Structure 1
Amino acid sequence: MSAVVHLAGPGRPRPDLKELLGRVAKGDRDAFSGVYDVVSGPVLGLVRRVLRDPAQSEEVAQEVLLEVWRKAAQYQPERGEVMAWVLTIAHRRAVDRVRAAQAASDREKRIAAASHTPAFDEVCEQVEGRLEREQVRRCLKSLTELQRESLTMAYFRGLTYPQVAELLGVPLGTVKTRMRDGLIRMRDCLGVGA
């Protein structure tokens, strides 16, 4: 029995990915076309969520699909579904790309730092920045736990008020009140004019 390589839709059967991948392992290009049709969208979506760069995402997605073609024989059905196997490859590739980019950036920063002697103004700015961060930390500690938690989620994790409310399991109005009160206390603690 051969697998159907058309995408599932109204009146169309779903392709059997395990059977298709088995045929891909034997070098069947038509079967790979069927696998590609089913997995390419989810692979690109996952990679884009990790990388956030469309061009790099497309490049990594191509690498993933090439790896699926090359390593189809390594798929072990007893260890899980084909889609999970493919998406695991995609996630690993995307994370590897992020790590490689971060390592390159870190190297460049180390090289730049080693070849640069900071000017007096830079040193002053660094010291002032550290002092300001310490003051913010001290003021955050003066808030109630509920205020601190809400402010941290919104301002340091970048969540919206509705997201904070959902995560904390409280009404949106409660979060807004906590945030307003916490910001007023922070303003007073930091000595910022009203």
Structure 2
Amino acid sequence: MRLRGIIYSSIILCFLQVCLSSCGEDDLKNAPKLSDTVSLNTDRTLKVDIIYSDSAKVKAQGFAPILDKVTPLNGSAGYQEMPKGVKINFYSDSLTIKGSITSDYAIMRDLEKTATFRRNVVVVNESMTFNTEELIWDQNKKMFFSPKGIVTRPDGTVLNAVKFTATEDFSTITYENASGEIYVPENFGQ
């Protein structure tokens, strides 16, 4: 009986050795080295309320539930990410809201001086509402850019705009290849 147990134990041990030795190459040899990855330092701020002023005049106010300031430890340029979205109100000289931008996500890149708004982006001012999935603000050019979106005017005009561009205050907008429904008053041409 005891001999039979020793034989079974020997067979099981041999089987385990065969199984373990047939596992192939070591997967750790194929894994990237830790020194090749980028380490990040992240500072998180909750319930952010930022006021932007120029010459002691309030120009804009931004709200974000979460603001992550990310600084790569390898010395590359940092960025600020708003993973839960952002709302920015723009103010006139009399401190009334003259427009806004909202989005479900935003990222500001320090080196490029750009802000990219993504997912459910809505721009509102007195002359239009612009809906898109991506809007980029270039601080150096003082311009907004979007590959495409929908422009809705107060008179009911709805346009599908391609290559949308706007000045920083949205006073001048341009787009290409627009199509849509345009409102024409009944007494047009009389």
TM bracket (short chain): under 0.3
Larger relative contact order (C-alpha < 8 A, sep ≥ 6)? 1
Return the structure number with greater helix share.
1
Q: TM-score, normalised by structure 2?
A: 0.22
Bigger proportion of residues as strand? 2
